[in-house]
Structure 1
Amino acid sequence: MLLTIRNTQAPADELGWLLHKHPARVQSFEVSFGRAHVFYPEVSEAACTAALLLDVDPVRLVRGGSEQAEGLLGQYVNDRPYAASSFMSVAIAQVLRSALTGQSKARPELVDKPLALQAALPVLPCRGGEGLLRALFEPLGYAVRAEPLVSAGEDAAWGRTPYFAVELRRTAPLRELLAHLYVLIPVLDDDKHYYIGDDEVDKLLRFGEGWLAGHPEREAIARRYLKHRASLTRRALARLAEGEADAAAEEAALASRDRGEEALERPLSLDEERLRAVTEVLVDSGAGQVLDLGCGSGKLLARLLELRQFTRLVGVDVAHTVLERAAQRLHLEDMSEKTRDRVTLLHGSLVYRDARLDGFDAAAAVEVIEHVEPSRLPSFERALFAGARPRMVVITTPNAEYNAKFAGLAAGAFRHADHRFEWTRAEFAAWAREVGERHGYAVELRPIGPVDAELGAPTQMGVFRR
């Protein structure tokens, strides 16, 4: 069972940094069904090919009590060692996990770098034919070449088999290719070698994040990936639909959040003061790689991009239209290649674990947390403080007590219609302390804006350090 991945974008041997496997060595790994080997048939700056070869041990499968076994003979005589299947997905998750989840401590700038990739699977079952193969990969931007494998010799009368030699080409980050292969190989095989439980829904949604919800074949993908278990399929599709609805609602709300709030706070120049205060904290921390969570139209990113200290900036927002505005503000299309390599815009939700956000020095969420439903704050906390876990986190949010000083703002009203809550100073301090204690961060609270003796400052900032 073989998968090869080829990169032809110079310097092509950067592939080794992403895979965490040295190009000069053959490396072998024990897996539950045998051994997996990683080696490089080709290494140069012009082209680099990595191979993942699986050596499936039928005896080990029997001892493991595989649920696919059909009689004694069926346990030993089958096509598993030859045709890519869920074994390949398991090997990708175990042997290439860092690349799959988008982690590269040595070269983090490569994680989101588009590479000229070519994946080849010499024997891939396509139970649904070439049409299904194309329907799964072409909407994701792949050029697909499929050669049907025909029976030969005594079995020639059987004609065509469900097996194809497949080649996929796309310019994309490696983690995207691996996520697509991880999900879609067992979908094409329409089978899995292990028990399917509730956690498979989480795996499907985790590795399908960013592409599955909008895929035209998402129902077929969910059904086949979950081995036709109707209850799990319904659950997966419901969660995808819920995510779409959340994203649409957040996009509509967040696209307008700047206008109303800025108009209210403009006399105090709060927007400018917040950006200045957050920038100063980030500069003083010595951070080089910074996440801007809920980056909006890119105001903070534009400031940080002017400072050479910041070598990698990533803005994340749930709203596509807002990210487009950020790209325009930053003039991404007109940047030099050197500057463009320092900044990346990602579409994503702040309440879901996202491995693309791991390994950063600092993260900032400027006037963002109040847009999160209170019931989803634990998810925000887990995704940021337990998952991404940057060395420092800076959060700013309105001080609800100060609202009494805004003329025309009714008692108990929020500064913006999309705010789900606004905390008093005591409420923010209590939340910040609890989060810090749970995740090992020391917390410092600072005021931003003019300080009233009784009501405090209009904006409160929490600086979390570990």
Structure 2
Amino acid sequence: MLLTLTTTPQPARPFPATDLGFLLHKHPERVLERELPFGRATVFYPEATPEVCTAALLLEVDPVALSRTTRPGEGAPLEPYVNDRPYAAGSFLAVALRDAFGTAMTGRSKDRQDLADTPLPLVAELPCVAARGPEGLPERLFGPLGYAVEAEPIPLDPLFPEWGERPYVRLRVSGTVRLRDLLAHLYVLLPVLDGRKHYYLNETEVEKLLRHGAGWLDTHPERDLITGRFLRFRELVRQAEAAFTPAVPEEEGPEEEEAPRDPRPRLHDARLDRVAEVLKASGAARVLDLGCGEGKLLRRLLEVGQFRELVGVDVSGRALEMAADRLHLKERPELAQRVRLLHGSLAYRDTRLHGFDAAALVEVIEHLEPHHLDALTANVFGDARPRTVVVTTPNREYNAVFGADAGMRHADHRFEWTRAEFRVWAEAAASEYGYAVGFEDVGEVHADYGPVTQMAVFAKDDP
């Protein structure tokens, strides 16, 4: 994959174009090669004159080397070897960009600091960019930053245009901007366009986003979309959102009356309240909250004396800290005999989850990669084997109520099921592991599209 950066002097800024080398800290007459964990990056200048200077970053990704680090169960047998990683710009190129031009991204230049601080006429071109997402995504991301954006779709096969297009474009963005800003925009927005980062995401990604998004992301009209696709996981998104400027509500005019409050509970609260009711009706005394997040369901269950032991499990350590604060576990040491919070993943067997009466998975399964769902099913129903299991998940059909382009309801969702798809999974799990299963609508129900949330309640008679 290839990225080129081009500048040309203008009368208002009469500098030699080759000064781009001082800003990038790469001499136009030299070729730089860097070995990366996933391939090789090369920086060179295909054109370097006082009138026009172009720096190129060429990244050669080795899919065979990548396949050796693929975890078991990920992808089809040929997928690690046959994919778009060597050709379509995305997170691999963003990593190579930071590696090659890291000093330039700080805005420092020993010999041309005045030029580094000056907006310059710059053009970035990429012959193939992965642009998975809503139509017009490149324009929505780069346009508000002041760039002229040209995104030409790439057909599946130029000889057969009727076959349609793949999610790739030839991308050209141009504008008068500081080099450091252009590099930061590319570093953040290329993975956002792709929507599939190749490496493990943790809290350092939040720091990267806030650092490289400083001065522009907070006011970008697509801030939420950028944050969600860059970070992917809801806990990381929440951490980033805490650093943003909160929206200021518009002041009401003197003649405006206060709008009446909707007496109906919010969907989130209605869902948790209904799950708590089902767990109480099951007669359970020892309950697992699998994917407990910040502990909102646990807080409801704590109010019911019937529940003698409550255990929350989550893969996010930060979420468990927030749950401990929400439940006031430090201030109430007497709860230690009744409430425990465990760090763990439902993709793996966990003997700590044995022997419980009931388990709840509230809006959890859609956050798993599809290939991990079989493991979760086996671990919950086949290994932990609580008598009652309550599962809620969004109904994808209902998304039509939100608009034709609504997509999935959260950037961290890996899939969303229709009512039929949810029933197929639930009935198969019940049949394989000896449960009976019933279904219930939660929240608003549309005449054509069904409920906003769908719930399955699994029950078994044997202990």
Length-normalised TM-score, structure 2: 0.50
Unaligned runs of 5+ in 1: 246-466
Change (3 A) 1:166 1:130: farther
In 2, Cα distance between the equivalents of 1:184 and 1:165?
15
Aligned equivalent of 1:3 = 3
After TM superposition, give the deviation of residue 157 of structure 1 in Å. 4.6
CA distance in 2, matches of 1:87, 1:197: 17
CA–CA distance in 2 between the matches of 1:64 and 1:75?
Answer: 9
Give the count of matched residue pairs.
243
- After TM superposition, give the deviation of residue 66 of structure 1 in Å: 6.6
- 1:266-415 paired onto structure 2 within 5 Å: none
Q: Does 1:89 align with 2:94?
A: yes
The question of 1:55 aligning with 2:60 is answered yes
Q: Distance in 1 between matches of 2:111 and 2:158?
A: 51
Indicate if the aligned counterparts of 1:66 and 1:193 stay in contact, CA closer than 8 A.
no
Q: Say whether the 8 Å CA contact 2:70–2:80 is kept in structure 1.
A: no
> Does residue 197 of the first structure (1) align with residue 206 of the second (2)?
no
Read off the aligned partner of 2:189 and give its amino acid letter: L
Q: Give the direction of change, closer, same or farther, for the CA distance of 1:202–1:113 in structure 2 (3 Å limit).
A: same
Could you say which residue in structure 1 is the equivalent of 2:243?
239
Cα gap change, 1:66 to 1:118, in 2 (>3 Å)? farther
Tell me how far 1:193 sits from its aligned partner. Answer: 0.2
- 8 Å CA contact retained: 1:151, 1:161: yes
1:154: how far off? 7.9
Give the aligned partner of residue 389 of structure 2.
Answer: none
Note closer, same or farther for the CA distance 1:68–1:53 as it changes in structure 2 (3 Å cut): farther
For residues 246-261 of structure 1, the aligned pairs below 5 Å read none
Q: Aligned residue for 2:48?
A: 43
Structure 1 residues 164 and 106, CA gap change in structure 2 (3 angstroms): same
Deviations 1:331-383 (A, max 9, x none): xxxxxxxxxxxxxxxxxxxxxxxxxxxxxxxxxxxxxxxxxxxxxxxxxxxxx
Query: Which whole-Å CA distance do the structure 1 matches of 2:182 and 2:47 have between them?
Result: 19
Distance verdict in 2 for CA 1:141–1:42, change over 3 Å = same
Aligned pair partner of 2:156 in 132, 151, 155: 151
Report if aligned partners of 1:67, 1:194 keep a CA contact under 8 Å in 2.
no
Aligned with 1:168 (options 150, 173, 177): 173
Stretches of structure 2 that go unaligned for 5 or more consecutive residues are 10-14, 249-463
SS at match of 1:96: helix
Q: Deviations over 1:182-230 (max 9, x none)?
A: 0000001011000010110110000000000000000000000012x11
Q: Specify the SS of the correspondent of 1:46.
A: coil
2:109 corresponds in structure 1 to 104
Cα offset for 1:72?
Answer: 3.0
SS in 2 for 1:29: strand
Q: Distance in 2 between matches of 1:100 and 1:121?
A: 19
Runs of 4+ with deviation above 4 angstroms? 66-69, 153-157
Choose the corresponding residue for 1:128, options 125, 133, 140: 133
Q: Aligned AA for 2:50?
A: E
Aligned partner of residue 54 in structure 2, secondary structure: strand
| Counterpart selection for 1:30 from 18, 31, 35 | 35
1:221 corresponds, among 212, 218, 226, to 226
Report the Cα distance in structure 1 between the residues aligned to 2:244 and 2:196, rounded to whole angstroms: 22
Q: CA deviation at 1:106?
A: 2.9
Cα deviation code 1:110-164 (max 9, x no counterpart): 2212111000010011112551211111110000111111111687553011111
Equivalent in the alignment of 2:143:
138
| CA deviations over 1:242-263 (Å, ceiling 9, x no partner) | 6x89xxxxxxxxxxxxxxxxxx
- Paired amino acid for 1:226: L
RMSD: 2.0
- Give the AA of the match of 2:60: D
